[in-house]
Structure 1
Amino acid sequence: MQFVHAMGGAHGAIGHDPTGVKGKQIAGQTIRRVAGFARPYRAMLIGFVVVLLLGALLSLVPPLLFRQIIDDAIENRDRGQVHLLAGIIVLAAFGEAALAFIERYWSARIGEGLIYDLRVKLYDHVQRMPMAFFTRVQTGSLISRMNNDVIGAQRAFTGTLGSVVSNTIVLATTLVAMFLLEWRLTLMALALLPVFILPTKRVGRKLQALTRESMEHNASMNTVMTERLNVSGALLVKLFGRHNQERDGFGSTAGRVRDIGVRSAMYGRTFFIALSLVGAVGAAVLYWVGAQLVISGAITVGTLAAMGLMVVRIYTPLTSLTNARVDVMTALVSFERVFEVLDTPNPIADRPDAVTLQQPKGRIELAEVTFTYPPSDDRLASLQTETAAPEATGKPVLRHVSAVIEPGQLVALVGPSGAGKTTLAALLTRLYDVDTGAVLIDGTDVRDVAQESLRASMGVVPQDPHLFHETVADNLRYARPGATDAEMEAACRSAHIHNLIASLSEGYNTVVGERGYRLSGGEKQRLAIARVLLKDPAIVVLDEATSHLDSENEALVQQALGIALQGRTAVVIAHRLSTVTNADLILVLDQGQLVESGRHQDLLAADGLYAELYRTLVRNEQRSPAESAV
């Protein structure tokens, strides 16, 4: 069996970099972790090695039988023995072909299964990482790590490592047989190794269509990763608590990639098996005809003929094994890069005893909250941008902030740019964890609440809402997958977006385009409001962004917001006079500290920072309704 062909598959070959691994040692921990991922395939691996051994032994049968034909059957002019031995040789060739087919299937199942396991595990791990991870890593580098390096790891396991095992078995069995037949010719054959040239490998045209299909599936998977794992997409996944559904959906696509990979591998192996079978049968016929000539007195070769057949079996394994260490070290680099991502700790994880919020009322308490953006993690320097995220200055963004928001209250967060308004909103949904103090929902620290439960109780409308490259209905049902068409339409009517959706070419089945590019800013905002209404949360966190909308869209968004906030606890980063003046409670932040709190009239009477900000806001709105900024 030519195992070097067997592992070709549809993914190509691994490049070698001898200088890149010079002097490096194989890490025992990496080997153990690779073995851990291979554990589910242990039975297949054992069967795979057994099939390799049986195939290697079976491939020795034809040369030995040819020797028997020449030295015994021909010598005794026994035509019946010639017919029998020739028939056995043909059967051995078919048996070897069958074993090669089984070997290829198992190698493909192991390799593609490993890709599936690594991809789903990586995707699930990364999309659960805190927002600080996504604000620092480069999306392209992350996707390359999750795609190319995973494939490289699969090749390392079933290609390079498998090739070493296969070549070792073939080489050992063949050399033993050759030494037993004629040790001097064996040594001479080994001496010819430096001048041996490896034959060029070819791939059949039948693989082209499957390869294209595999590339399309990979492109589809990369699209999902690009949308879900950038900052906006990851934020949306977290806010709606859809990690498990994301994992399952991604796993479905990855499963199709796995299946097409197995089919590609089997078609490729069938191609090479056919060539090997034709060659084996041709050799059997050739020796059978030659034996008739020997019986007639023309040829008397036995051991030499057998050696001639065996010698071609040692050059490819020997050539491959001369670079085995470099090949293995190069291959393990992919595993190390994959493990580097998997080993990235997630500081925001559910505690073992995390509770579930039961019918949340929406009471929020900030108890001496102090927060500093976490520093960059050097362990993932190769994935991160060259400079640290701008918010990670090492200085507290919020300092000793305390406030109580009662159920159903509308609370406006105001303050100069950089005061900490957006950061405070992010702490409510536990996108980050506080350094000291606590954020409590209905009297429970958010760190003690299961994240899925916490985010199920909250609805967030960011300043720039993110829409996936899917239909309007799919984007709406992201908030509540089981929502009926009637419930979805009711939410859209409340958000003043139904008529617009109904006018689209395919209505709710219209694809909105990447990041919702087919919709205007106001339309995207109203669709995001409808999505929150469909979710029906107890708490709404809103970055009220109307500053860049035209007057018509602004009015529609304000009407939609009025409905969205009814009967819910609302925390609004205020940009509009109406929001500020109508708020039940105004929290004024400055340089990370809560400097004032109260109702509009009381704060105006105090003539502090709020009064100054309010006067600026009045001037801005009198000058241009689209230029408000608090």
Structure 2
Amino acid sequence: MGMGRGGGAGGGRGGAGIYQDEQAVRDANADAPEIPGLWRRVASLFGAYKGLLAVAGLLVVITSALGVAPALLTQQIFDRGLFPVDGSGPNLEVLWWLAIAMLAVSVIVASIDLLQTWITAKIGNSVANDLRVQMFERLLAMDLAFFTATKTGELQSRLQNDVGGIATTLRSTFTAILGNIVTAAASIAAMFVLDWRLAILSVVFLPPLLVLQRRVGQVRARVATRAQRSLADLTAITQESLSVSGVLLTKTIGREGAETERYRAANLTQLRLQLELAMRGQWFFSAVGVLMGLVPIIVYVIAGYLITGGVEVTAGTIVAFTSMNMQVRRPLLGLMRTGLDIQTSKALFARIFEYLDLRPTIVDAPDAREVNTARLGEVEFDDVVFRYATAQESAAPTLNGVDFRVAPGEFVAFVGPSGAGKTTVGYLATRLYDVTGGAVRFAGDDVRELRRDAIVAHTGVVSQESYLVHDTVAANLRLAKPEATAEELEVACRAANLHERILALPQGYDTVVGERGTRLSGGERQRLAIARVLLRDPAVLILDEATSALDTVSERHVQRAIEAAREGRTVIAIAHRLSTIRGADRIYVLDRGHIVEQGSHDELVAAGGTYAALYREQDALTAE
């Protein structure tokens, strides 16, 4: 569906050739994705607002019907008030009543318009908000593999730009279509009442214009798709370049100029597409405007011939007819523009429904059950085979035939060279991915038979880069337990060896940590992440290289926090620094997806195998 690194918006930039090939593919496939029953699904979005739609529809019919009243009253003003056909001179009494009637119609229409505007704005914005929430909920339900293959900027673009792009259409489409149809129908009917011959002359050119308008709309829809994809690229560049990590990289390697040029180029592409979108079909409406402007001229000329030929046509009829022609012109142009907007918005709706139709690969079974608390803390891998979906079929599995069992309260560690599959063990234990073969058991049951939220409730993960939100220390802690009291926060932070450091911050627990916790040191961020996990009191704690990026002093602080966190829990540590797992009950050595050694630290060192070699290498580096 075009959402991997090589498709959709924002594919890889690994080289000029790759980029050009990708761009060619994207240009060749610029049409929106095909969504079966698209407009039926769009219509279903309004289902929750049927009552408001009915009221809005009634108001539109009333205002549209009243829209022809001024022209008809104008005819009466001319033929009965100003120039009565009996030649008796102006009838002031009739003139006053007709003038009051025209004023009353204007006041009623204006009042109804206010209410109608509020209702349509309510409906349109509500539907757009519903769509945004549905998409956000769908994205959160997706498995980790989806996010590793999709740029964050692309996701943001679909949530913000695509949904925002259809908001205006949603707010105005229903009333625009209904109102313009009723107004045009009433005006054309009134024209036939006034003079059927002139009416035929006025509407004979409409069918060809509608056919041409449809073709123009199809072209605009294709341009709109390219414009939204360009906007997704622009959003991705902004998100990448202006994040804390992105800015740090840019400044440390001196790429400010290059990044500015990249952003300028993306902006120029967006500018070109927006101009193309704005001008596509403009010539059509210019031609329609000129053609409709000819109608009053034709009416005057034909009326002259009719009068010359002895046909009775009053001045009031001619004035009312030309006024009615203007009344027809506005809704017809409005319908054509709305039609173009709808065809253009098809691309946006298709991109939105494309994401709403995503289905996560990891879902609870219909009969999924709770965790067996009698065996809580037990984790087992039974002949596990795992291959990432993005891996080539010819490549070896990331894990192959992995067997181990961790008893409740045990501390086990996984070590090995980079790419050996250590982190994958943690992913599978928490069911962020599902195994390709074999089984992962949690508390004695296959994880695929358990509710995933039940597994999450009993596990805690501390990764190498612990994510913190741009909020206070307390708010970051309460992500794990929103109802936690101040006393509970303090207990958790004391256990994580962090409480005293927090008190030294300017506002203590109310100190804002900055984006991704940049106002804290690496060790402080890790200890805050550990305290957050301790608030949840999980039975299984997974440490994914939690100290590998820290200096020696910070590592000691974090290590003490980890020691406290391990008490009474099952701990699975994915380790890079072997010094942090010397006290493990059992150490598994992974190499190329296989467990090649297992045992305690002393046993493995004595065995003189892979672990001993890794240990000697790190020991030598530390000595230097």
Normalized against structure 1, the TM-score is what? 0.73
1:46 matched to 2:54: yes
Aligned to 1:444: 445
Change (3 A) 1:448 1:226: farther
Distance 1:593 1:22 in 2: 45
Deviations 1:370-406 (A, max 9, x none): 111113xxxxxxxxxxxxxx89985410011111100
Secondary structure, counterpart of 2:377 in structure 1: coil
The count of corresponding residues between Structure 1 and Structure 2 is 494
Cα distance in 2 for residues equivalent to 1:591 and 1:533? 33
Distance 1:168 1:90 in 2: 24
- Can you list the C-alpha shifts for 1:293-352, whole angstroms capped at 9, x where unaligned? xxxxxxx84223322432222222233444665432211111001011111221112222
The SS at the match of 2:568 is coil
State the distance in 2 between where 1:392 and 1:451 align: 28
* One-letter amino acid matched to 1:305: V
Aligned partner (choices 315, 329, 340) of residue 343 of structure 2: 329
- 1:426 paired with 2:434, answer no
Q: Is the 8 A contact 1:366 1:401 kept in 2?
A: yes
Q: Is the partner of 1:529 in helix, strand or coil? A: helix
Which structure 2 residues correspond to residues 147-186 of structure 1 after superposition, within 5 A?
147-160=160-173, 162-186=175-199
Q: CA deviation at 1:558?
A: 1.2
Q: Is the 8 A contact 2:57 2:175 kept in 1?
A: no
What amino acid maps onto 1:68 in structure 2? Q
Q: Could you say which residue in structure 1 is the equivalent of 2:389?
A: 374
Q: What do residues 158-190 of structure 1 show as CA deviations (whole Å, max 9, x unaligned)?
A: 445653333222211111111211234445556
State which drifts further: 27-36 or 321-330.
321-330
Q: Identity of aligned pairs, percent? A: 41
What CA distance in whole angstroms lies between the structure 2 residues aligned with 1:187 and 1:20? 45
Give 1:103 shift.
1.9
Partner of 2:68: 60
Deviations 1:560-592 (A, max 9, x none): 111011111000012344433211111111100
Quote how far apart the aligned CAs of 1:157 are. 3.4
Letter in 2 for 1:182: D
Is 2:123 the counterpart of 1:123? no
CA contact (8 A) 1:59 1:93 kept: no
| 393 and 96 in structure 1: CA distance in 2 versus 1, 3 angstrom threshold | farther
CA RMSD of aligned residues (A): 3.2
Could you say if the C-alpha distance between residues 34 and 21 of structure 1 is closer, same or farther in structure 2, counting changes exceeding 3 Å? farther
Q: Secondary structure at the match of 1:439?
A: strand
In the alignment, is the contact (CA less than 8 A) between 1:412 and 1:587 conserved in 2?
yes
> What residue is the counterpart of 1:97 in the other structure?
110
1:595-629 alpha-carbon deviations (Å, 9 max, x no partner)? 22222233334332222222223323333xxxxxx
Distance apart, 1:150 and its partner CA? 0.8
Secondary structure of 2:441 counterpart:
strand
Any idea what SS the aligned residue of 2:142 has?
A: coil
Q: Is the 8 A contact 1:460 1:541 kept in 2?
A: yes
Q: Does 1:507 align with 2:508?
A: yes
Give the corresponding residue for 1:83: 96
Could you give the per-residue CA deviations for residues 104-135 of structure 1, whole angstroms, max 9, x where no partner exists? 12211111011110000000110221111111
Q: Secondary structure at the match of 1:582?
A: coil
Q: How does 1:312-327 map to 2 (within 5 A)?
A: 312-322=326-336, 325-327=339-341
Tell me how far apart the structure 2 counterparts of residues 592 and 307 of structure 1 sit (CA, whole Å). 84
Question: Contact between 1:161 and 1:328, CA under 8 Å: does it hold in 2?
Answer: no
Does the residue aligned with 1:302 lie in a helix, a strand or coil?
A: helix
Match of 1:346 in 2: 360
Q: Deviations over 1:492-515 (max 9, x none)?
A: 111111122111111111111111
CA distance in 1, matches of 2:205, 2:443: 81
Distance 1:47 1:449 in 2: 48
Q: Structure 2 counterpart of 1:413, which letter?
A: F
1:26/1:329 contact within 8 Å kept = no
Structure 1 Cα separation of the partners of residues 187 and 357 of structure 2: 43
Q: 1:52 corresponds to which letter in structure 2?
A: V
CA contact (8 A) 2:32 2:351 kept: no
Distance, in Å, in 2 between the alignment partners of 1:581 and 1:20 is: 57
CA contact (8 A) 1:174 1:310 kept: yes
Contact 2:34-2:350 at 8 Å conserved across structures:
no
| SS at structure 1 position matched to 2:352 | helix
Distance in 2 between residues matched to 1:485 and 1:580, nearest whole Å = 32
Shift in Å, 1:357:
2.4
Question: Any idea what SS the aligned residue of 1:541 has?
Answer: strand
Q: Distance in 2 between matches of 1:570 and 1:543?
A: 11
Moved more, 564-573 or 44-53: 44-53
State the alpha-carbon separation in 2 of the partners of residues 402 and 22 from structure 1.
Answer: 48
Residues 1:478 and 2:486 aligned together: no
CA deviation profile, 1:207-254 (whole Å, cap 9, x unmatched)? xxxxxxxxxxxxxxx99x979xx9x9xxxxxxxxxxxxxxxxxxxxxx
1:577 touches 1:618 (CA, 8 Å); kept in 2? no
What residue number does 1:32 align with? 40
1:361 match:
376
In the alignment, does 2:576 pair up with 1:575? Answer: yes
Give the structure 2 partner of residue 302 of structure 1.
316
Q: 1:25 to 1:151 in 2, by over 3 A?
A: closer
Cα distance change of structure 1 residues 20 and 33 upon mapping to structure 2, 3 Å threshold: farther
TM-score (norm 2): 0.73
SS at match of 1:511: coil
C-alpha separation in 1, matches of 2:436 and 2:610: 27
Contact persistence 1:160–1:331 (CA under 8 A) = no
The partner residue of 1:139 within 152, 157, 178 is 152
C-alpha deviation, 1:442, in angstroms = 0.8
Relative to structure 1, the CA distance from residue 154 to residue 26 in structure 2 (aligned partners, 3 Å threshold; closer, same or farther) is: farther
8 Å CA contact retained: 2:35, 2:353: no
Against the structure 1 CA distance between its residues 37 and 546, is the aligned structure 2 distance closer, same or farther, given a 3 Å change threshold?
same
- Rounded Cα–Cα distance in structure 1 between residues aligned with 2:154 and 2:164: 15
What is the rounded CA distance, in whole Å, between the counterparts of 2:39 and 2:76 in structure 1?
Answer: 45
The residue that corresponds to 1:109 in the other structure is 122
Aligned residue identity for 1:163:
A
Alignment of 1:176-575 (within 5 A): 176-186=189-199, 301-322=315-336, 325-357=339-371, 359=373, 361-375=376-390, 395-575=396-576
How far apart are 1:551 and its partner, in Å? 2.9
Deviation for aligned residue 1:70? 3.1
**Unpaired stretches in structure 1, ≥5 consecutive residues:** 1-18, 194-221, 233-299, 376-389, 624-630
Shift of 1:27: 6.6
Give yes or no for contact 1:21–1:329 (8 Å, CA) kept in 2.
no
Could you say what secondary structure the match of 2:513 adopts? coil
1:520-549 CA-partner distances (Å, limit 9, x unpaired): 111111111111111111110002343443
Question: 1:481 is matched by which residue type in structure 2?
Answer: P
- Quick check: 612-621 or 76-85, which moved more? 76-85
Shift of 1:28: 5.9
Q: In the aligned structure 2, how far is the partner of 1:371 from the partner of 1:26?
A: 33
* Residues 21, 326 of structure 1: 8 Å contact kept: no
SS of the residue corresponding to residue 594 of structure 1 reads strand
C-alpha offsets along residues 463-499 of structure 1, whole Å, 9 cap, x if unaligned? 1111011111000000111110011011111111112
Distance 1:190 1:476 in 2: 69
SS in 2 for 1:587: strand
Q: Distance in 2 between matches of 1:29 and 1:84?
A: 53
